[in-house]
A and B are shown apart, each in its own frame.
Chain A
Amino acid sequence: MEKYLLNINDLKVTIEDKEILKGLNLQIKEGETHVIMGPNGSGKSTLAYTLMGHPSYEITQGGIQFDGEIINEMKADERARKGIFLSFQYPEEIPGITVEEFLRTSKTSITGEMQKIIPFRRLLKTKMEHLGMDESYASRYLNLGFSGGEKKKNEILQMSILEPKLAILDETDSGLDVDAIKIVAESVMKIKDEKCSILVITHYNKLLEYLEPDYVHILMDGKIVKTGGVELANQIDEIGYENIKAEFSNI
């Protein structure tokens, strides 16, 4: 049997008694990059939140296996410690806590090792340089007053510091200009080289030009309806979701 890092089996998820995911299957192996595309309301963000363990999303059927363990009942912090990372579409603003303080606490918690101030500051500085972030962001309050693009970069900064096994990028490309997309893609490629698996959730294919995904999945009405290579993303770009939808309703 093949070994999957993430194995989602017939997953049904409801939020406030409304079923959003209706029997979703997805398998991701170590080091693979998967893309999930789909129109608004198809369940993309629900999938991201469910994988991260948001308490409002209730799993009613099926299971999520991560790194050999069913994680359905795990809280978000336990999942993070197991190696799941979610880059949020709309990251929260937390006043009074600096980016550095927050990330050092986070890294300490995830690695189980106290992060010393000076080496950590050095690491943070290097990673920020890669992302073209000004050093001053380290001492700013977490996401407070950041522009949309700065928030996304800050998510990617956290990803590269925390070095997860699986990084879920929820609409990370939205709000980023062309240059910023390129910089973000480079950081993603770097952790990919470290055998990190990537799950990109998007409804554009801007990031995909750089990421060379192994698989592209189309999510519609809570299910994956089609899986292919990068050509599938291009096809959607040309003909749009409506035509894909039509294709399925014909079957």
Chain B
Amino acid sequence: MERKKTYIEDIDRGIYDIKNDFTYRYKTDKGLTEDIIMEISREKNEPEWMRDFRLKSLEIYNNKPIPTWGADLSGLDIDNIITYIRPDTDMKHSWDDVPEDIKITFELLGIPQAERESLAGVGAQYDSEVVYHNIKQELIDQGIIYTDMETALKEYEDVVKEYFMKLIPPNDHKFAALHGAVWSGGSFVYVPEGVQVDIPLQSYFRLNAPGAGQFEHTLIIVEKGAKLHFIEGCSAPMYRVNNLHAGCVELFVKENATLRYSTIENWSKNMYNLNTKRAVVDKNGTIEWISGSFGSKVSMLYPMSILRGEGARSEFTGITFAAEGQHLDTGTKVVHAAPHTTSTVNSKSLSKDGGYAFYRGLLRVAENAYGCKSTVSCESLMLDNISKSDTLPIIELNNDNIDIGHEAKIGRISDEAIFYLMSRGISEEEAKAMIVRGFVEPITKELPLEYAVELNNLINIELEGTIG
């Protein structure tokens, strides 16, 4: 008898894979030299301190080894990555003014529509520069600043200088140093004390050029008692050469403030996604991370929360979906550096068709951080026998007046559960899809609506394959 197997289809990449012709106003040569850094800085017309910062970062970069403790990065050849590409346009504040091909790309990705319907402001970056930025007038009236990093550096130089790469210093690791040297684009958000933004802001990062790197810098400062939801979306079309994404996200959450940072990352499968994200949270403040990792060839991504004020909270909700040829090494780090801080980690991963999903987490409680509470739960579901999953949750406790709960589960999709659903008339494919949907349900309900729909669609797209 012919045996059939069913599987959950990959994300339909149709929209994401549309490539535009590679046109640009300026690009650097491949690779990384002092001259290239000077060129980037000159091209951007930057203050001297930033140029020096870049050069210092380059020096650190050159002296740091490639990390070998995680995913295999041997396929990454920095010397062949173009670090800076200025698209053939200046930044616009109206979609009408954005060049047609770039506008069409973002329209297919649903960005202008989302802005009209459900967002307070939108930024869109194409290759190395932000091509569009807009924010609703009422937010401007409340004193909220939402702009691209280049503009921020010009108009709010003192603020940028105070915060830029203070949370993620260039000597943190090799790719942080690389970022410090070649960063370009990204978003700057400043929410003044007591201002609560109820609808989200969204930045979308699109890398169109082949063999390029994207190094956007996101800097968000949420002042005392303020509140913000920020959404970050990323995608790129598929090329045969490898691309690199090494962005940095630095989040400053002040006393009693709340920041929710949602990311859906859907890079193409030639992308090395080596992103660094970090938040520092003051007294009674809250950081909420929502993190969806679906794309890329290799990801190493561990958003980190430093709870430095008494009573600070962090919540991490993450979903990772590794399919054929993907090694997604994801997780989160939490440092309890003050008393009575709390953290929750809820991570789920799926792997199929030989994909490899690795959960790597760190929970560190400092000596003085008594009365802390932490709950960590990581679950992995493998959809077939050729896929892999691992979990490596590291826990470092430096005092014993704490309440820690930890749960890790790795399993394959259960034949008995499939049989149970089938015995109620549900087909094998639908039964599997239901189990997978149920598995990720606690995550999907946290996602912004359009992404939840996208995730459900991806699980709904099933195929029946045949093995002889």
Contacts and interface: CB of A to CB of B under 8 A. Distances in A.
Do these two chains interact? Answer: yes
Interface of A: 52-56, 75-77, 79-81, 85-86, 88, 91-92, 94-97, 102-103, 105-106, 109-110, 141-142, 158, 162
Interface string B423-442: 11111101100110111111
Nearest to A109: B425
Interface in B244-267: none
Contacts of A75: 422, 428
A92 B416 contact: yes
Contact of A105 (B417, B430, B435, B441): B430
Interface in B409-468: 414-417, 419-428, 430-431, 434-435, 437-442
A91 B435 CA distance: 15
Contacts of B425: 77, 80-81, 106, 109-110, 162
Contacts of B420: 88, 91-92, 94
Nearest to A79: B423
A58 to B, nearest CB: 11
Given A77-B427, A77-B428, A102-B434, A96 B440 contact: yes
Given A92-B414, A105-B430, A97 B422 contact: no
A146 B440 CA distance: 21
Contacts of A92: 414, 416-417, 420
Contacts of A142: 438
Given A55-B415, A77-B422, A162-B424, 20 more contacts: A55-B419, A56-B415, A75-B422, A76-B419, A77-B431, A79-B423, A80-B424, A80-B426, A85-B423, A88-B423, A94-B434, A97-B434, A105-B426, A109-B424, A109-B425, A109-B426, A109-B427, A109-B430, A110-B424, A141-B438
Nearest first, the 6 A-B pairs at minimum CB distance are A96-B438, A96-B441, A80-B425, A76-B422, A110-B425, A106-B424
Contacts of A97: 434-435, 437-438, 441
Interface of B: 414-417, 419-428, 430-431, 434-435, 437-442
A103 B420 CA distance: 12
B439 A96 contact: yes
A158 B417 CA distance: 16
Contacts of B426: 77, 80, 105-106, 109
B2 to A, nearest CB: 12
27 contacts: A52-B423, A53-B422, A76-B422, A77-B426, A77-B427, A77-B428, A80-B424, A92-B417, A94-B417, A94-B434, A94-B435, A95-B438, A95-B441, A96-B437, A96-B438, A96-B440, A97-B441, A102-B424, A103-B424, A105-B430, A106-B421, A106-B426, A109-B426, A109-B427, A109-B430, A141-B438, A158-B424
> Residue among B421, B423, B430 with the most chain A CB within 10 A?
B423
Which of A52, A54, A95, A96 has the most chain B CB within a 10 Å cutoff? A96
Contacts of A94: 417, 420-421, 434-435, 438
A76 B423 CA distance: 5
A48 to B, nearest CB: 10
B191 to A, nearest CB: 34
B436 to A, nearest CB: 9
A140 to B, nearest CB: 12
Given A95-B438, A96-B439, A86 B423 contact: yes
Contacts of B430: 105, 109
A113 to B, nearest CB: 12
Contacts of B434: 94, 97, 102, 105
B402 to A, nearest CB: 27
A162 B425 CA distance: 10
Contacts of A110: 424-425
A93 to B, nearest CB: 8
Contacts of A86: 423
A110 B426 CA distance: 8
A86 B416 CA distance: 14
